[in-house]
Amino acid sequence: MKFTDLGLCSELLEGITKLGFETPTPVQAEVIPVLLESDRDVVALAQTGTGKTAAFGLPILELLELDYAVPQALILCPTRELCMQIARDMESYSTCLPGVKVLAVYGGSDIRQQLMALERGVQVVVATPGRMVDLIRRKRVDFSKIARVVLDEADEMLNMGFEEDLEAILSSVPKTAQTLLFSATMPTQVAKISKNYMKTPLEITCGTRNSGSETVSHEYYVAHAKDRYRALRRIVDIYPRMYGIVFCRTRMETQQIADHLSVDGYSAEPLHGDLSQQQRDSVMKKFREHHLQILVATDVAARGLDVNELTHVINYNMPDDLSAYTHRSGRTGRAGKEGISVSIIHMREHFKISRLEKAIGKKFVKRAVPTGDDISRVRLMNLAERVRDYKGGAGLIDNHIGEMTAMLDGLSKEELIKRFASIELHRMLLFYRDAPDINEDAPQRQTDSREPNRYADGARPSARDKRDAHEPRKMTAGMVELVMNVGSLNGLTPKKLMALVNVADRDSSIDIGRINIVKMQSYFEVSRAESQSLVDSFAKSHVDWDGRQVSVGLAGNSRPRPERPPHRSGPPATGGYQDRPYDKPRNASRGQGGPKKRR
């Protein structure tokens, strides 16, 4: 079947042909003819990345009355990013259809500009629920001519707590409006919306209900819990061209994992709810433009992301429910491309894999955590492939190739390859030279000598360095560690941190111990007796810093964390490749000395 067989007008066909569309996806082939021929409500269940935007967007554009610049279609979606993406897609489809006006309405931007655009006239409004409810309450939007309402990613909107907003919006549109509900899963809340606001809807299911995408393969790795971060790094290293998302459970863990990866030489940044909208936009811009290899995100922050080229999704922690896993894995394998969903589990989580296999009807393949030799071979073969396929043109090197040849004349072909490869991959090869096997059934390491050599030129660490690398830092007696949601990128210094504590708790004098400031978070010690009182003070006082409300909580489970001393007594570490358990980011600016009295 071709798009020309679906009954779309020539202008739309010309527009989508320019975009490279030829053959409709299953959901498009099923939904488009129904919407063009009938006003019946529709519930369409299909995975993210299967072309749902075109499935509802093309019929909406086909059925617009272009002589009237009033809202005729309303598309609701869960996040700002998805809202903007749908609006861009609708504009792209209609490039050859003159007179179409599409407006994206979302929070975090100037509402006055959106109101002015509404007043100038639009036919299609794409909105997030919260901002749309705001416009309705202001009585600044006219829904009297709305003919079609689309709920895109309906399960996500309900998971995010938009049920009341959706009900308020749906009750504001004409009862004659056709309602189109698109969702990856069909939880109880979605069924409730369907029952209350839709009239005998036609259900279209592409694939098995609540199943994963057919273009996504599912793999899992088993390692000891303490080796989870090491396993993550090895998975990333075994896929040199990986471009993906690492999913974590909490904002704090997301930030810490991103900091770890960044310090260890990877192109990675976090995406979580503590970021300002400006920071979030900056991260997403870099990720979409492939200036970032890895995005570390929470489920909530990643909702609505629309990036088609992702090769991998990695579950650093397994989600607790099926729908979360379905949405995570659906971020890859989009637009007909293949993707891999990877899960890292410990030995007591096998039951989660079995449960997911039954729920989505897909077989999960168990992989061994790569060894140092596995990774070295893959990276060397990747380097050889890049050299073999390199198509560089003439350049300045041609003027000096004779001199270089003469200088290297005494080396054999094998020795030349070995030396160039060693220079290119020096730190990685050195790092993995003695790396232990960290699979669940591997013998446990007994001594420090079995850990990989972290030092250049084969030098051995000093006694002090061995202690710092392998022994957890002992907390100062009677102290616990707190974490603050601002860091060095926000201009925070130890002195300014103590000033914030002053502002939050003016009625008492608190001793502050060690301070450790990283990119987007800060860690500091206070006495155990005063810790909860200080956490409560920040919650009540609404202290603001750099445009963000400052929050403070216990760092992780208040576990001891390793600390890198400001001045090492041994040789320098090898930069990127430092094999260590996941504890705490180490690119810190740290206060010195013992406890400091807050003045």
* Residue 192 and residue 76 share a domain: yes
User: What pLDDT score was predicted for residue 121?
Assistant: 92
The overall longest dimension of the chain from CA atoms, in Å, is 85
* Residue 11 and residue 133 share a domain: yes
Q: Is residue 377 part of a domain?
A: no
CATH of the domain at 512: 3.30.70.330
Tell which residue, 223, 247, 249, 250, has the closest CA to residue 234: 223
* Residue 485 and residue 337 share a domain: no
Q: CA angle, 443 as apex, 442 and 449 as ends, to 5°?
A: 120
Q: Is residue 426 part of a domain?
A: no
pLDDT by 10s per residue, the chain, length 599: 788 889 899 999 999 998 888 888 888 999 999 999 999 999 998 876 678 899 999 999 999 999 889 999 999 998 888 898 899 999 999 999 988 999 999 987 888 999 999 999 999 999 999 999 999 998 888 899 999 999 998 888 887 788 889 989 998 999 899 999 988 777 777 888 888 888 888 998 876 555 556 788 999 999 988 899 999 999 999 998 899 999 998 888 899 899 999 888 899 999 987 888 788 888 988 998 999 999 999 887 776 676 778 999 999 988 877 778 888 888 887 766 789 999 999 888 888 898 888 888 889 999 999 999 999 999 999 999 988 888 876 677 888 888 989 999 889 999 998 888 888 888 788 888 888 888 877 765 443 333 333 322 233 334 433 333 333 345 566 788 899 988 888 888 888 888 888 878 776 778 888 898 988 889 999 888 888 888 888 888 778 787 778 889 888 644 434 333 333 333 333 334 444 444 333 333 434 444 454 44
Q: Is residue 587 part of a domain?
A: yes
End of a domain among 372, 395, 427?
372
* Residue 250 and residue 147 share a domain: no
* Residue 220 and residue 201 share a domain: no
User: What pLDDT score was predicted for residue 537?
Assistant: 87
CATH of the domain at 164: 3.40.50.300
Q: Is residue 466 part of a domain?
A: no
User: What pLDDT score was predicted for residue 335?
Assistant: 64
Q: Is residue 34 part of a domain?
A: yes
End of a domain among 339, 372, 405?
372
* Residue 225 and residue 190 share a domain: no
Tokens of 380: 């060397």
* Residue 307 and residue 159 share a domain: no
Those residues with Cβ within 8 angstroms of residue 504's Cβ, 6 or more apart along the chain or in another chain: 534, 537, 538, 541, 543, 550, 552
Q: Is residue 134 part of a domain?
A: yes
Q: Is residue 575 part of a domain?
A: yes
Tell me which residue range forms the domain holding 282. Answer: 216-372
* Residue 244 and residue 200 share a domain: no
User: What pLDDT score was predicted for residue 49?
Assistant: 67
User: What pLDDT score was predicted for residue 474?
Assistant: 52
Q: Is residue 524 part of a domain?
A: yes
User: What pLDDT score was predicted for residue 115?
Assistant: 92
**Backbone phi and psi for residue 586, each to the nearest 5 degrees, phi listed first:** -120, 5
End of a domain among 351, 372, 393?
372
* Residue 53 and residue 200 share a domain: yes
Tokens of 46: 């299909």
User: What pLDDT score was predicted for residue 206?
Assistant: 78
* Residue 277 and residue 165 share a domain: no
Sign of CA dihedral 419, 421, 425, 431: negative
How many structural domains is the chain composed of? 3
> 244 burial class (0-12, 13-18, 19+ CB within 10 angstroms)?
buried
* Residue 39 and residue 105 share a domain: yes
* Residue 235 and residue 187 share a domain: no
Please state, in angstroms and rounded to a whole number, the distance separating the CA atoms of residues 593 and 412: 56
